[in-house]
Amino acid sequence: MSTVAPPDPVGEMFASRSVPVHLARGVAGLVLLVAAFALAHLSALWLLLIPVTVVLWRGCVSCWTLGLMATRARTCPIR
């Protein structure tokens, strides 16, 4: 009888294809978040960049960090 391991929900939800892709999503999200708050005094419309940050990070900063660890575990085998 063979057993099948259940899928990893963290990896499925938050991981990216590779670590560089995941880091690029994190940096882009951080730049947009800083820009949103830096430019908010000009117009409140700049705050619409915050949801884009949430999409890039796939949630909050903790979600992005979990995704980074899952991506690294998936793409970089332990030696």
The model's pTM is: 0.78
Q: Mean pLDDT over residues 51-79, rounded? A: 87
Phi/psi at 66 (5° precision): -60, -40
User: What local confidence, expressed as pLDDT, does residue 6 receive?
Assistant: 66
Tokens of 62: 């903790």
Give the mean pLDDT of the chain.
86
User: What local confidence, expressed as pLDDT, does residue 41 receive?
Assistant: 96
- Judged against a pLDDT cut of 70, whether residue 4 lies above it is answered with no
Q: d(Cα 48, Cα 52) in Å, to the nearest integer?
A: 7
- Judged against a pLDDT cut of 90, whether residue 74 lies above it is answered with no
Contact call for residues 53 and 1 (beta carbons, < 8 A): no
Q: Mean pLDDT over residues 9-21, rounded? A: 79
